[in-house]
Chain A
Amino acid sequence: MKLSESTILVVDDDEDILLLAKKILEKSGAHILSTQDVSHAMEHLSRSTPHLIVTDLDMSPVSGFDFLKKIQDHKEWQTIPTIVLSALNDKNSVFEAISLGAVDYILKPIKANYFMKKIRKNLNDQEFLKYDFPPEDKPQVTTSTRGIVHSIGEIGLKMEMNVCFNSRAQLVLNSPSPLIPGFKQAKFIAHNRGTPLLKGLFVNELIAVPAGKAFIQLKRSLLK
């Protein structure tokens, strides 16, 4: 995970530290969400899923420890790594924060280099989110791309485009712009397999099915 592509949520009740952390992190191009209390942080989390959370511990009314607990209790937020940024340097606080799911513990005051190193390390360790659909439940989508009408025949047309259609492919042609007045869409079927013209460019022969009104309209406006 690159720092410049990541979103980081920073929670601290001290405005100066919040500004400093924000300034350091924004230099590297990261997208920063910052807030001074936990309830706002929860609102941020319900709207988006950051790559990393940086939180203070000693806050009121809700402390950082409670915030860590809330993150762990929430199924969708468990996966987000959380770094603690705190002035508390006793053994018990560190132990409690780590046992509540914090992945790292940074002591205040912030030293820019050290802080960035920790952030970078935790982002690098993180795997990006990916969802594989189960084989029996792969969703169908309509994919569309653009092509150039090369020539028009009596019942079909030839298209130049960067897709090589398999023979018998069922397709729908749409007009993307008002260039072709009166034409909305027409159904086509790919005749033979597309033939390569140049690298990454294919000529596909498409036949209108049925060769009805829509195709005649398209033909008329293209051959005008």
Chain B
Amino acid sequence: MTYQYKNPLRALIIDDDNEFTFLATKMLKSLNVNLIILEKAEELFQQIKTFRPQLIMIDGSINKSHNGLSLSEVIRKNLNQQAVIFIVSAENSLEATTQAIELGATDYITKPLNKEILKHKLLFYFRNNVSFTIDQSYRSPSLHQQTIQIEFESQIESIDEFGIQFRSHHLIANGSLIKFTGEIIKSLTEEKSIVASVIRNSRDPHSQFYVHYAEYEDISQECVNNIRKWLSSKITKDYKYV
């Protein structure tokens, strides 16, 4: 299985250690990341506004006036709440790590940088932006058009005389023929299944579902009678003639 980012990541590195920036550049470029490298913190705020990085890597001890930790605090509080901030430092201690996280950093990485760890961390933090592809070779079947029936689960919202309204995680195109089977269908009609064609579909704005309406297709008079009988047993008039 291979993966790629749907949109290239935008990353920004602030470090005055040339060897580190060289190494990090090489690693990140191979991971298809758009990169800006800054040696001094002065330009940082301007770059964050224009380049809008998703990932900011800060040296834990960049210089005396702007400590890396205080930088991450400033960025988190004032500039960018969403960005993933890595503090990179040679110091490997519990205090340093907890302090960095308390001050708004997302993660703490120790020098020297390891490509596999960096790759894994990026994959985790930007997992919503990743699409996976499976490496497999495909072959066409011998019979050119091989139809197969596919079953999936749906939820019925309402039933009326002409059709069924149902919700599903999947989008079903208008005009598709759908076969319904299940307990509720059995109680509705003596036949095991009902075939209906989708005539409306729309996305439910409040959930991840699609709502479809399908009209009965090729339905017998007996089946219509059964459905009407079931419906009239469910619906009661709330008034009575006196």
> Does A47 lie within 8 Å of B225, measured CB to CB?
yes
B127-162 contacts to A (CB < 8 Å): 131-134, 136-143, 145-162
> Does B158 lie within 8 Å of A99, measured CB to CB?
no
Main SS class of interface, B: mixed
Q: Given known contacts A72-B241, A129-B228, is B169 in contact with A169 (CB within 8 Å)?
A: yes
B residues in contact with A79, CB < 8 Å = 232, 235-237
Q: Hey, what's the 0/1 contact readout for B107-138 against A, CB within 8 Å counting as 1?
A: 00000000000000000000000011110111
Whole-angstrom distance between the alpha carbons of A154 and B135 in the complex? 9
With beta carbons under 8 angstroms apart, the residue of A72, A156, A166, A176 that contacts B170 is A166
> Does B229 lie within 8 Å of A49, measured CB to CB?
yes
Interface check B180, CB cutoff 8 A: yes
> Does B137 lie within 8 Å of A153, measured CB to CB?
yes
> Does A179 lie within 8 Å of B143, measured CB to CB?
yes
With beta carbons under 8 angstroms apart, the residue of B147, B158, B183, B208 that contacts A131 is B158
> Does A163 lie within 8 Å of B233, measured CB to CB?
no
Whole-angstrom distance between the alpha carbons of A143 and B193 in the complex? 10
With beta carbons under 8 angstroms apart, the residue of B139, B154, B179, B236 that contacts A151 is B139
Interface check B36, CB cutoff 8 A: no
Closest residue on chain B to residue A192 by CB atoms: B131
> Does B146 lie within 8 Å of A169, measured CB to CB?
no
With beta carbons under 8 angstroms apart, the residue of A7, A140, A162, A166 that contacts B175 is A162
A residues in contact with B231, CB < 8 Å = 49, 129-131
Interface check A100, CB cutoff 8 A: yes
> Does A141 lie within 8 Å of B156, measured CB to CB?
yes
**Residues of B in contact with A, size category:** 35 or more
* Count of A interface residues, CB-CB < 8 Å: 74
> Does A176 lie within 8 Å of B148, measured CB to CB?
yes
- Chain A: residues with CB nearer than 8 A to chain B? 7, 31, 47-51, 72, 75-80, 99-101, 128-133, 138-159, 161-166, 169-177, 179-180, 191-192, 194, 199-202, 205, 207, 222-224
Q: List 11 A-B contacts (CB under 8 A).
A: A47-B225, A79-B232, A101-B241, A138-B155, A151-B141, A152-B140, A156-B136, A159-B148, A163-B152, A174-B148, A180-B146
Question: A152-B141, A164-B171 provided; 14 other pairs, C-beta below 8 A?
Answer: A128-B160, A132-B158, A138-B156, A141-B156, A141-B181, A143-B168, A144-B149, A144-B150, A146-B147, A162-B172, A162-B173, A164-B173, A177-B147, A201-B173
- Chain B: residues with CB nearer than 8 A to chain A? 131-134, 136-143, 145-162, 166-185, 208, 221, 224-226, 228-229, 231-237, 240-242
- Which 7 residue pairs are nearest across A and B when measured between Cβ atoms? A48-B225, A200-B173, A130-B160, A141-B182, A153-B136, A151-B138, A222-B141
